Amino acid sequence: MSARSDDTGPVRPGELGRPRRGSMVRVIVSTTSGPVTAPAAPSGTARTESALPTAADVDAAAGRLRGIATVTPLEPCDRLSADTGARVFLKREDLQRVRSYKLRGAYNLMVQLTETERAAGIVAASAGNHAQGVAFACRMLGVRGRIYVPTTTPRQKRDRIAFHGGDLVQVISVGSTFDAAAAAAAEDVARTGATIVPPFDDPRTAAGQGTIAAEILDQLDTAPDVVVVPVGGGGCAAGIATYLAERSPHTRVVAAEPAGAASLTAALVAGGPVTLDEIDPFVDGAAVRRIGALPYAVLSARETEVVQIDEGAICTAMLDLYQSEGVIAEPAGALSVAALAAITVPADATVVCLVSGGNNDVSRYGEILERSLVHRGLKHYFLVDFPQEPGALRTFLDSVLGPDDDITLFEYVKRNNRETGAALVGVELGVAGALSELLERMEASPMHVEHLEPGTPAYRYLT
């Protein structure tokens, strides 16, 4: 196997280590051809068949999902088409019955369970969307289940899980990451003998997600040149890549993952799945510390292009989708759109971006806007040592701030018997290029000013 990163030149397995936070890395991995089998499933996961899923499995899944899953729209996006020079379409899985594609894989797996497996009850672990798909399938099939979710799962998702599952499903919050929830689910299975429903590491799950690709080929007037998909555990990317490899082999599949949880990149570089020491859980639908063994086997068996997208860029894509197209995407749902800026798209190419889900808690939009502004270079924080005298703030406003700059945060406590007092000041610039001029004016002022750099403890506290 060979791997390369456009940022660093040739990269060999094990050489890159953990991907750099916030970078946009393009990794292409190719392997020798030949039959590929799924690796052994880790303890506590559902059984997998010896062979990886095929296009025929996807077609069979489409039959099982008929009347259950919605055939979601494939909509042209004029804005992104103008930006790229390509014909860009959005595959709107945010309009699926549970507002994400996860229903497809969950139902396709559960409908194939034996009566004995159903009677034992099911157990699942999820960051939220798979849980909704499982809960919906439990209600459709009359199966009882326990679903483990991280404590960081947005309330909106937890409420929807309870709604879809009704009295048949118990929602249990445990740990701060998907991996912690998955460990709790595995312990439950070992203790009770229940049937696990994995979110990505099963050929039946991947085949269900692959029905998205079958719909895309049916809906377009020509085969797509590029399909961009988000990747967390990898089941959706594996299912789509499997189908397109057989039914539209010239189509280029790009997997986009959050820079703060780049488990696929790490696996491709290392030559197998590895567990990341820590991840940024912000993109909750794709924040997985370890890529699935089966998805890795699928994606590493073909030429696979992977891009890492900064969480701030994802936030900007979310806001643009909402303000321009009226699309309410969750962070993982906007990954593919954010990735367009990181890949080369030929003029007049037909490109499909998968909007994978729209389960976003409205209370998160403050943080989303903040991260977007920081990513675009518009939001900055400073510690300013003000003279404790009348008019000091007015001097700062008149001599330091530019005409289009705005103060978004000001925290100051006057101290008696001191000549100066520190204030925490947040500034939103009118244009990103104005930062250097602002810093020059601060340097020329009589006040001592410290620019808080992203990544420092004080900065992380603020954002």
As annotated, the active-site residues are 102, 356
C-alpha 4 chain-centroid distance:
23
Residue 3: helix, strand or coil by DSSP?
strand
Cα distances from 421 to residues 25, 66, 381, in angstroms, run 43, 67, 17
The CA distance from 110 to 453, in Å, is 49
Do residues 267 and 215 touch, judged by C-beta distance below 8 A?
no
Do residues 373 and 428 touch, judged by C-beta distance below 8 A?
yes
- Comparing CA positions, the residue from 331, 309, 311 lying closest to residue 321 is 331
What single DSSP character describes residue 460? Answer: H
Cα distances from 368 to residues 309, 319, 365, 383, 419, in angstroms, run 15, 8, 5, 23, 38
The CA distance from 196 to 256, in Å, is 27
Do residues 104 and 65 touch, judged by C-beta distance below 8 A?
yes
Residue 352: helix, strand or coil by DSSP?
strand
Q: Nearest 5°: CA angle at 10, between 7 and 15?
A: 90
Torsion, Cα of 94, 100, 103, 105 (10° steps): 120
Do residues 339 and 283 touch, judged by C-beta distance below 8 A?
no
Task: Count how many residues are written for the chain.
Answer: 463
What single DSSP character describes residue 455? Answer: T
For 408, the enclosing helix (H) or strand (E) is strand 406-412
Within 220-310, where are the H helices? 235-247, 263-270, 293-300
Q: Which residue has the tokens 């998968």?
A: 354
The CA distance from 317 to 334, in Å, is 6
**Tokens describing residue 31:** 């392997």
